[in-house]
Amino acid sequence: MKKISLLLALLLSATFTYAQFNVTDYDDVQILDGDIRAFNSTSAADATLYFWINNESQTDDIFVRIQLESITNGDGSSYQFCFATLCIFDVAEGQVYPVNGGPVTIPAGGTNAQFDKFFNENDGDGNNYPMDFVWKFFQVDGDDNEIGESISFTYRFDPNLSITDYENNLGITLQNTISSDFLNIESLNNLSFEMLSLNGQLINSGQIEAGLNKINTSNLNSGLYFIKFSDGNNSSTLKFVVK
C-alpha cells in the first residue's frame, strides 16, 4: 500500500509540474514564445496590450510570475504594467513580478484578473529605436522555483513604423490589408505562416519564399483575420480584413 501511495504521489507531482498555460490578448490571439507586438503610438487607446494567462489544467491551480528580461533603448520609465490587480508606472530590467506577495495563482481552468496589461507611454529620446521590452511569463512550483516551459515576447515601440511596416521585423510587406481573393506578400526571407481567425482558430498554414507571394483568401468569410510569420526563431503577426 505504501508503494502504491508513493507512486500515486509521484504521478500527481509530475502532472502538476508539467501543468501548462497559454497567454492571449483580448482579441483571443495567442502571444507565442518569440512574438513581437509592435506599436507606433504611446496613446493608451492604441498601445495598450491587455493579456490573459489561461491555465490549461482543469484540475490543478498553477502559480505564475512575469519577468522583464531586458530593455533596449529605454530605461523603463513611464511604462504601465498591471499584474495581480496592482499597477506600477516604471519597470526595471531583470525584475520579477509581483515584487511582493509571491506568485499569482491561476485557478484550474481559469485566468488572471481582468485588465492586466502592458503599456509604454515613453516617447524615447527621438533617435534610438525600436524601444524593446522583452517579457517572460513562467510557472513556478510551491517553493517558487521555475518549472515547465516559459513564454517570452517583445513589446516594441517605434514611432517610425507605418501601417505596412507593422511588425516588419522579418522583412515582410503586406501589400494589401483588405482582401477578397489573395493576400499579396513581399518577403526578404523564406518563412512559414499560420492564418488565424479572430478567436485564434488555425485556418491555414504553409510556406512563403523570398520575393513576391500570393496566399488565397477566397474561401474565407468576411471579417478580421491574423497571419503569423516565423523564421523558426522570431515571429510577426499581421492583421488583414476579408471583404
For 71-93, write each residue's pLDDT tens digit.
999 999 999 999 988 899 999 99
pLDDT at 122 over 90: yes
pLDDT at 111 over 80: yes
Residues with Cβ within 8 Å of 73's Cβ and at least 6 positions away in sequence, in order, are 124, 125, 128, 129, 130, 131, 132
pLDDT at 166 over 70: no
Domains and CATH numbers, the chain: 2-157 (2.60.40.10), 168-242 (2.60.40.1930)
Quickly state the pLDDT bin for 241 (edges 50, 70, 90): confident
Predicted local distance difference test score (pLDDT) of residue 19: 61
pLDDT at 169 over 70: no
Q: What's the whole-number mean pLDDT along residues 28-35? A: 85
Predicted local distance difference test score (pLDDT) of residue 236: 81
pLDDT at 18 over 60: no
Range scoring the smallest mean pLDDT among 10-19, 138-147, 149-158 = 10-19
- CA 100/CA 116 separation, integer angstroms: 17
Query: Residues in the chain, how many?
Result: 243
